[in-house]
Amino acid sequence: MVSALLRALGSLLHPKMLLLMMLPLAIAIALWLGLAIAFWSEAVQWIDLHIRAMDGMQWMFTVWPLALIATHLAWIMVLLVSVPLVLAVAVVIVSVFAMPAMVGHVSRRDYPGLAMRRGGSVTGSTWNAVQAVIIFLFLAAVSLPLWLVPLFWPVLPVVLLGYLNQRMFRYDALADHASVDEIVELIRRHRLEFFGLGLVLAVLANVPFFGFFMPVYAGLVFIHFGLERLQVLRSESIEGAAVRLR
């Protein structure tokens, strides 16, 4: 995991990655900025109405320091939701449109001897992305009330974005080079490592300025980790075959 994080930094500095760094985040920001302009006030009013209708929240409006927070709580909630959603859209854009070029770039430079068995497909990538987004949005909607709880707010967005990172990128990182059986085996073996990388990258996404690079950097991390693990898996198969021949 550490090796993948470090090698991805080297890949990120290549000039070919500059456009890929800027484009997904710019599209995501433009999309959500347009939605914010169109629906921001309605979203704030809707959330504020439901907050004021909750019996457990009424007392906050009677205590001066908390009343100030409660008055602007709807704005705060919309902002809290907007940041991970912008990053999530950027992750989806990178996964669907940029990953094939990134995989080709990394494999030519760092894994030139790795055979391409093309166990993945455009259809498989699209279906994987659709499933990942649906599950992410469902979990985000279900857990949204907990985002107001101080102990849960920093953790839940990171966990959700970590899930989305690993679910989106692990398939596309392996699709060109691994066979179907190899994709299944690598995900089975390294499920925890994939999720751990997703969590680390979700934390880094909240670091000022670094969040700008995170979607492309995350893709590169999963490419390096996936292709390195694929090399190890194939070397085990060769060693096992050699032992059986003896």
| pTM over the 0.85 mark | no
pLDDT of the residue at 163:
93
**Nearest alpha-carbon partner for 132 in 164, 157, 174:** 164
Please report which confidence band the pLDDT of residue 243 belongs to, taking 50, 70 and 90 as the band edges. very low
Distance of CA 170 to the CA centre of its chain: 10
Q: Dump the DSSP string for 212-245.
A: GTHHHHHHHHHHHHHHHHHHHHHHHHHHHHHHHH
Percent of the chain predicted with pLDDT > 70: 73
pLDDT digits (tens, 9 = 90+) for 184-234: 999 999 999 999 999 999 988 877 777 778 888 999 999 999 999 999 999
pLDDT digits (tens, 9 = 90+) for 142-155: 887 777 676 777 78
Domain ranges of the chain: 2-245
- Name the residue type at position 123: T
